[in-house]
Structure 1
Amino acid sequence: MEFEKSPQTCGNHQAPAHYEPGEGCLTTVIRIPVRIVVLLVVIPVRMVWDLLVVCGRALERILLRPLGRALAWVYEAVLTPVGHGLMWLAKALLVWPWVALWRYLLVPVVTYGLVVPVVWIYRQLLTPLGHGLAWLVEHLLVAPVRWIYRRLLTPLGHGLALLASFMGKALLVWPWVALWRYLVAPVVTYGLVVPVVWIYRQLLTPLGHGLAWLLTAIGHGIAAFCRGVWTAVVRLVVVLFVTPVVWVHRHVLAPIGREIAAAVGVAWRIAGYISRAVGRGIKWLAWNLLGRPVRWCYQTLCTPVGHVLRDGLWRPAKKAAVEAGRVARAALQSARETVRQARREAWRALVGGPRVPDAGEPVVPRARTLGSTTTVPGAVAAPEISLHKQG
Structure 2
Amino acid sequence: MELPQQPPPGQPEGCLTVAIRIPVRIIVLVLVVPVRMIWDVLAAAARALHRTVLRPAGRALKWLGHTLVVVPLAFLGHCLSWLLRTLVVTPLAWLWRWLVVPVWRYGVVAPVVWLYRYVLTPVGHGLAWAAAGVGAGLAWVATGVGAGLARVATGAWVGLAWVGAGLGLGLAWAARGIGMVVSAIGTALVRVGLVLFVVPVEWFYRRVLTPIGHAVAVVAREVAAAFGHAWRIAGHLSRAVGRGLKWLGWQLVGRPVRWVWRTVCAPVLHWVRDTVWAPVKRAAVEAGRVAGAALGAAGRTAREALAAARDTVRQARAETWRALVGGPPREPPPHPARTLGSTTTASGAVPAPEISLHKSEG
TM-score bracket for this pair, using the shorter chain length: 0.5 to 0.7
The residue number in structure 1 matching 2:280 is 317
Q: Unpaired segments of 5 or more residues in structure 1?
A: 1-16, 363-391
Query: Is residue 2:59 matched to residue 1:69?
Result: yes
User: Judging changes above 3 Å, is the alpha-carbon distance between structure 1 residues 255 and 194 closer, same or farther for their aligned structure 2 residues?
Assistant: closer
Identity of aligned residues (%): 39
- Over aligned residue pairs, what C-alpha RMSD do you find? 5.0
| Distance of 1:50 and 1:359 partners within structure 2 | 89
Q: How far is the alpha carbon of 1:268 from its aligned partner?
A: 0.8
- State whether structure 2 residue 45 is matched by structure 1 residue 45: no
Distance 2:82 2:232 in 1: 69
SS at match of 1:308: helix
Separation of aligned partners in 2, 1:219 and 1:354: 139
> What does residue 287 of structure 1 align with?
250
2:21 is equivalent to residue 31 of structure 1: yes
Q: Deviation per CA, 1:169-195, whole angstroms, max 9, x where unpaired?
A: 9xxx79xx68x94xx8877765x5544
2:51 aligned with 1:83, yes or no?
no
In the alignment, the residues of structure 1 paired with residue 70 and residue 304 of structure 2 have an alpha-carbon distance, to the nearest angstrom, of 38
Amino acid across the alignment from 1:236? P
User: Take 2:227 and 2:161, find their aligned partners in 1: how far apart are those partners?
Assistant: 84
Cα distance, 1:325 vs structure 2: 1.8
Residues 1:293 and 1:19: Cα distance change in structure 2 (over 3 Å): closer
Displacement of 1:360 in angstroms is 9.0
For residues 33-79 of structure 1, the C-alpha deviation after alignment (integer angstroms, 9 at most, x for no partner) is 01100000000100100110111111122222222233334345x52
Structure 1 match to 2:325: none
1:296-317 superposed Cα distances (whole Å, 9 cap, x missing partner):
2222222222122111211111
Instruction: Sort the Cα spacing of 1:341 and 1:99 in 2 relative to 1 into closer, same or farther, 3 A.
Output: farther
Q: Which moved more, 1:218-227 or 1:324-333?
A: 218-227
Check whether the contact 1:19–1:28 (CA below 8 A) recurs between aligned residues.
no
Q: Comparing both chains, which one has the higher relative contact order based on Cα–Cα distances under 8 Å and sequence gaps of 6 or more?
A: 2
- Would you say 1:236 and 2:200 are equivalent positions? yes
Distance 1:95 1:67, change over 3 A: closer
SS in 2 for 1:23: coil
**1:204, 1:356 → 2: CA distance?**
142
What is aligned with 2:47? Answer: 57
Aligned twin of 2:211: 247
Correspondence 1:1-391 to 2 at 5 A: 20=7, 21-76=11-66, 78-79=67-68, 83=72, 87=76, 181=148, 193-201=157-165, 203-232=166-195, 233-250=197-214, 252-342=215-305, 350=314
CA distance in 2, matches of 1:187, 1:60: 96
CA offsets per residue over residues 64-107 of structure 1, 9 Å max, x none? 2222233334345x52698369849x95xx9999999x69xxx7
Quote how far apart the aligned CAs of 1:321 are. 1.3
- TM-score normalised over the length of structure 2: 0.62
Shift of residue 226 of structure 1?
Answer: 4.6
Mapped partners of 2:300, 2:60: distance in 1:
43
Measure, in 2, the Cα distance between the counterparts of 1:328 and 1:84.
44
Q: What displacement does 1:205 show?
A: 2.3
CA distance in 1, matches of 2:333, 2:275: 58
TM superposition score normalised by structure 1 = 0.58
Q: Could you tell me which runs of 5 or more consecutive residues in structure 2 were left unpaired when the two chains were aligned.
A: 319-331, 342-362
